[in-house]
Amino acid sequence: DFPNQINNVLAFPGFFRGLLDAGVTEITDAMLLAAADAIAARVSESELNPGFIIPSVFDPQVASDVAMAVQDAAAAK
């Protein structure tokens, strides 16, 4: 509804896929930060502007990037 509004579609699918794939039962701050970084990384420097700081909810790579980031953070625990 607003520019740059974080929607559940950006975070939850990949975050929970990463948790399930990693087999973890606890969420850490490192996992949350890794997910946020993965979402932010989907916007390139050339696309970045005050009206576009997060990727589209239709970006097909967001969920898999977030899942991998969460798995990596879980493994580093």
Positive or negative: CA dihedral 74, 15, 18, 56? negative
Could you list the residue range(s) of the whole structural domain that residue 57 is in?
A: 10-75
Split into its structural domains, the chain has a count of 1
CA distance 51 to 41: 16
Q: How many CB atoms lie within 10 A of CB 29?
A: 8
| pLDDT score at 2 | 73
Q: Does 69 map to a domain?
A: yes
CA distance 44 to 55: 9
15 closest CA partner among 76, 66, 73, 74 = 66
Task: Tell me the pTM.
Answer: 0.89
CA distance 12 to 20: 12
| pLDDT score at 1 | 65
Q: Does 5 map to a domain?
A: no
Q: Does 3 map to a domain?
A: no
pLDDT tens for 44-70 read: 999 999 989 999 889 999 999 999 999
